[in-house]
A and B are shown apart, each in its own frame.
Chain A
Amino acid sequence: MANHAHFETIYNGHKNLVYNLCLHYVLNSTDAEDITQEVFVKVYQKYTQYDASQSSLKTWIYRITINHCLDFLKAKNAKKRMGFLTALFGPGSNEPVIDIATINHPGTETEDKAALLHLLQIIYSLPPNQKTALILSKIEDRPQKEVAEIMGLGVKAVESLLQRAKQTIQKKLTESEGL
């Protein structure tokens, strides 16, 4: 476990990174707050296991945050599917879906809010790896090498994920524009 003074320094240095990353995943400030808490409790508990020779502290915290966000979304999606009969009898889509009306991301108060929310809604439905690659590179604006390091993949693999993510987004944008 980290000692308290050191933990406070770590917290202050990374709280906005974690909170904003959570917002990009869950699109809801209440859920983002809960996940941020869990992330830092985990950081406190597991700090002695952190190996600085393997990765930077920022990368380590990024990974913990991403894993928590993806676990949260997986659990939320599983709960939603259990609640609807169509999940049993319908075609059974594994895509998580979010209603734009429920999105509560404080960072989206911009001129192009409608377009932004629509795009975030599509990104929300992407498979986990594609979603992560896209969020880290297009929203967090991390260079591909850093994205690869955070995800534990090669740069080529990240490029491939981004390519697939863009294809899916293009397809969904075309479908929605055609409606």
Chain B
Amino acid sequence: MELNKKLDVLQQIKEVDAPPFLYTRIQQQIQNLQQLEAPVKWKWAFACSTLLILLINISILVRSSAPVVKQNTGVENIVNSLGLSNTNDLYHE
């Protein structure tokens, strides 16, 4: 086929050698990427401290939303036992 003959010209493309400086550039790029990446220890420390802060916040939220149980103070106990008035009315009407 004529087209196949025309495509055969592609076989004439020569293989060329990769430039020698490429490896140095690649090593430099790899080094740059490694410097940008935080050490594993730091990542774990960050994760743990974030978790701790979240847990503290959650426990505070849970406690503040729990119903408050009113406790009788010592003074109120005395007032009740002596049958004294626990209002501010001066005149008992």
A residues contacting B by CB (< 8 A) are 8, 11, 15-16, 18-20, 23-24, 33, 36-37, 40-41, 44-45, 105-112, 115-116, 119, 138-139, 141, 166, 169-170, 173
Q: Determine, out of B13-21, B38-46, B48-56, B70-78, the stretch whose residues face the partner at the interface.
A: B13-21
A residues less than 8 Å from B19 (CB atoms):
19, 33
Q: Are A37 and B25 in contact (CB under 8 A)?
A: yes
B 24-42 contacts with A by CB, 8 A: 25-26, 29-30, 33
How near does chain A come to B47, taking the closest CB pair, in angstroms? Answer: 22
**Number of A-B pairs whose CB atoms are under 8 Å?**
77
A85 to B18, CA, bound (A): 38
Q: Are A119 and B18 in contact (CB under 8 A)?
A: no
Q: Are A19 and B3 in contact (CB under 8 A)?
A: no
Q: Could you jot down 25 A-B contacts, CB within 8 Å?
A: A11-B23, A16-B17, A19-B16, A19-B17, A20-B16, A24-B13, A33-B19, A37-B25, A41-B26, A41-B29, A41-B30, A44-B30, A105-B13, A108-B13, A109-B14, A110-B14, A115-B9, A116-B13, A119-B9, A138-B11, A139-B11, A139-B13, A141-B11, A169-B7, A170-B3
A residues less than 8 Å from B29 (CB atoms):
37, 41
Q: Are B22 and A33 in contact (CB under 8 A)?
A: yes
A105 to B7, CA, bound (A): 17
Using A19-B16, A110-B14, A112-B9 as known contacts, list a sample of 9 further A-B pairs with CB atoms less than 8 Å apart, ordered by residue number in A.
A40-B26, A105-B13, A108-B14, A115-B6, A115-B9, A119-B10, A138-B10, A139-B10, A166-B7
B15, B16, B25 interface centre (most CB from chain A within 10 Å): B16
The number of chain B residues with a CB under 8 A from chain A is 21
Chain B residue at smallest Cβ distance from A113:
B12
Chain B residue at smallest Cβ distance from A14:
B18
B residues less than 8 Å from A20 (CB atoms):
15-16
A24 to B15, CA, bound (A): 10
How near does chain B come to A177, taking the closest CB pair, in angstroms? Answer: 11
Q: Are B12 and A106 in contact (CB under 8 A)?
A: no
The 6 closest A-B pairs by CB, nearest first: A19-B18, A15-B18, A107-B14, A110-B12, A107-B13, A106-B16
